[in-house]
Each structure stands twice: as structure tokens, then as C-alpha cells.
Amino acid sequence: MDNFKIETAQNITIQQNVAPLSTRISAFLIDMLIIGAYYALIFFILNALGYLDSENLYVLYTLISLPVFFYSLFFETLNNGQTPGKFFCKIRVTKIDGSKPTFGSYLIRWILRLIDITLASGSIALLTILLNGKGQRLGDIAAGTTVISEKKLVSINSTLAVDIPEEYTPVFPQVTMLNDKDIQTIKELFLKAKKSSNHKMLLKLKLKIIEITGINSELNAVDFIDIVIKDYNYLTQQM
């Protein structure tokens, strides 16, 4: 799954998980099945009522097709960026900066859907998404939106778990003043800062931990934070 990072005005990094193309296609097919079922039901009812022999059949067909014509615009606007297909596949339309799209954004996507999907049978949308790297078809590029996956990717780095020796002895009992959410945030920032050799961030993180817990230590930031994470895991497992 592709992803991209956004730096907000508050210097918070948001990582967006782009919805896989296969998932978007699955959502599209689900929506088509729903639309097909809608047509089948309506025509079954009209046939039962004897309206299919009416001279006004084209007028009826136009009226019946209006909900289909506005299907994606209607659902994405009222259901926070999700058609039924997107809902079942756990994907959503969002602004490229992670904020909620406006009605204007949904409208632009819907209008350009005619070029992206309808006229070109989806080929333009597929090509644009594959080349863009941010999960955007032409409508998304124009509207400043993308489609993201809401499925959680779980890895060892996204959990609290760390390897602790059997004979481990905790150093800072004050770490119990922290909670699981605090340690999760500390671990994520710690790993990112180590990976990028961001010593300034590591020092800030150490100082923040000291501020919260009152721990007094002359250890360097890397060793200190590493011990804090291990101590928390060890001590909370004993509770």
C-alpha cells in the first residue's frame, strides 16, 4: 500500500495510507451491483404495475436514472466521503491534507468522473492513479482530494511491545506515571527520530518525559528513552 506524509501548520506529521487500486475497483464494483439491483427492482415494480408499456417510458427511465446519475455525489457528500461500496471496503475520500472535503470538492470529483470513468471506461482514472502516487484520478487532482484506506496496519513498531531480557531490572519506576497512549507516542517518535538521526527531536522527547515523570538522569537521550520504554513494558506487565 502506498502512503504519503503531510506536514501540517502545527508541525504534526500525518501519514495517509492510499487506498489500493484493487480496493477502489472492488468498491466500484459493489456500487455497480447496488445500482444494478436498484434498476432491477424498479423495473420489476414497473412491470408488475404495467407501466413498461407506457408511451412515457423514456420519461420514466429518465426519472429513474436521476438517483443513479447523482449516486456518488449524493453518498460522498452526505456520508463523509463514502459511497456504500467505499464503506464496505473501508476507504474514504479526503482532502490531500487530511481534512474533510467541502461540497465543492465532491462536486469537482463528480463532474470530472465523466472523463475519468464514464467516457473512458475507467482507463484514464486507472492510468492517473498508477502514475500519480497519491491515489488521485483527474477529479481528485482538480479537487485536491484522494482516497485513503481506513484499515489499520499493525506492525511490531506500532505496538507497545519491546524485547526485554528475562533478568531485566527496571531503572525508573516513575514511568508508571505515563499511560499506554503516552508510551505509544514516545515509541513512535523515538523510532522516527532515531531513523532520521534527529538528535534535536530526541533531546526534546527526553526533556518532555523528564517534565512529566520527574525522572532525573544524565543518560544520553537515546539510552534514556530506550530504558523508559523498556521499564514501562516491564512494570506494567507486573501489575
10-residue mean pLDDT profile of the chain (239 residues): values are 46 64 94 95 84 72 90 95 95 86 95 89 89 89 92 51 72 88 86 87 91 90 90 77
pTM for the predicted model, two decimal places: 0.60
Per-residue pLDDT, 13: 45
Per-residue pLDDT, 47: 81
Contacts 24+ apart (CB under 8 A), 62-68: 64/39, 67/38, 68/35, 68/38, 68/39
Q: How many CB atoms lie within 10 A of CB 24?
A: 22
Cα(125)–Cα(136) distance, integer angstroms: 8
